[in-house]
Amino acid sequence: MPSEEMDILGLRSEQARRIAREREMHRRFKSGELRGVVVSSSDADADRGVLLAAAHLFQRQLSKMPKEYVLRQVFDTKHATMALVGPAAEVVGGVCYRPFFERGFVEIVFLAVDYDFQVLGVGGFMMDLFKEVAKGEMRGKEWEAADSVLGIYRHKCVAIDDLDALHVSVAAEMPGPLYLVTYADNFAIGYFKKQGFSTDIRFGGWEGVIKDYEGGTIVECKVLWEIDYLRKQEAIEEMRREVLQRMRAAGSIHVLYKIDDYSGIKGAADIPGVPGEAGTGREVAGDAGLLDRFISYLISDLQSNAHAWPFLKPIDPEEVPDYYRVIANPMDLSTMLSKLESNKYKGLEPFVRDVRLMASNCMEYNGKDTQYYKCAQMLLDHFHGRLESYRHVASRLWAEGPG
């Protein structure tokens, strides 16, 4: 009996756990059990008690660091600390950081959660909060560049009271890309990866600016302006539902078949839900719909590729005024998706032609040493690799069909 109630790979229950954790952190904040503050000794009114408590926390949790050194860093006027303060006014977590806003990044100097509060979601929440705080600071006026070349700022100390007021909608002015970068302790790399950090360095604007630490691995994270990190689990849940809905619409992948009697199963084709070999009478729908599903898969595979960002939408003529004078037949991934949805692709070949056109336009317009040219090359190589892996499907769908 097919069942619609499948929890694919346990994702639903994992997600439910993360949503509950996110809500619990919001509840603690609202009830005042937990509050946030940003403190820097560059502000004469700084609460030095909080700074000292944060320094003690870092000293306890980062025991390999010399205590004296930690203290100096926390009280350094170039640094600020975002602290989470618990019910007994104790610092339960903190991020000591140095902003380089004019260079588009913030260095995390130390980060820790008190031992008694670990594994409860505090560390994840603290990073989400920090991302929103960093965005607000970069956009706002909590700092003043005393010397932007040396990255010296004067920070205003602020209390973080209202989580709902922190995230500002995308429509508001965005000052440019923002990255977080840190030398992660090797034991904490897994934590940083869960928070969106990567060892695959793409930004690198911090090179030669921040100090090297031995025994750590440099990781960086692009902070997205359009994401409300404090509500990211709910946003992920919305996306999960959307994906499932699309999978349901595209086929029967969501249907769970229960088998009560295994005696009749002699081969793969006898398993309920598994399409059989041609000629066994159990093929699901032949090639009907396969072309659209395959192209749809290839488009979303391209869209999610790290080198696809220049090709997601048509070139904006206001940003690149002469583009349409040079390029006679523009093409991009959103246009391909519209063509697919309006049934314009009658075979795989015209779609492949569009992908190649998109890349060759880019290579024609941009010089060989530009990142756009390199993206086009990488994306095209990736695409050809995909076609090669699925050549058994591709060759079936290559010819243009009727109409």
Under the rule (CB under 6 A), what is the footprint of ligand ACO? 18, 61-62, 108, 110-113, 118-124, 182-185, 187-188, 190-191, 194
For ligand ACO, the closer of residues 25 and 358 by Cβ is 25
Amino acid at 182: T
User: Is the Cβ–Cβ distance between 217 and 128 less than 8 Å?
Assistant: no
In whole angstroms, what is the distance from residue 111 CA to residue 81 CA? 9
Rounded to a whole number of angstroms, the minimum distance from the CB of residue 40 to ligand ACO is 18
For ligand ACO, the closer of residues 92 and 178 by Cβ is 92
For ligand ACO, the closer of residues 180 and 376 by Cβ is 180
For ligand ACO, the closer of residues 229 and 345 by Cβ is 229
Helix axes of 11-31 and 232-250: crossing angle, nearest 10 degrees: 160
Rounded to a whole number of angstroms, the minimum distance from the CB of residue 305 to ligand ACO is 25
Q: How far is CA 212 from the centre of its chain?
A: 26
Rounded to a whole number of angstroms, the minimum distance from the CB of residue 62 to ligand ACO is 6
Catalytic annotation, pick one of 22, 107, 137, 142: 107
Rounded to a whole number of angstroms, the minimum distance from the CB of residue 285 to ligand ACO is 38
Phi, psi of 305 (to 5 degrees): -75, 145
Helix axes of 122-139 and 11-31: crossing angle, nearest 10 degrees: 70
- Which structure tokens are listed for 370? 């530009």
Q: Is residue 107 among the annotated active site residues?
A: yes
For ligand ACO, the closer of residues 183 and 297 by Cβ is 183
In whole angstroms, what is the distance from residue 265 CA to residue 283 CA? 16
- Return the H-helix or E-strand segment holding 96: strand 91-100
Rounded to a whole number of angstroms, the minimum distance from the CB of residue 367 to ligand ACO is 38
Pairing of strands 178-185, 105-113: parallel
User: Which residues are marked as active site?
Assistant: 107
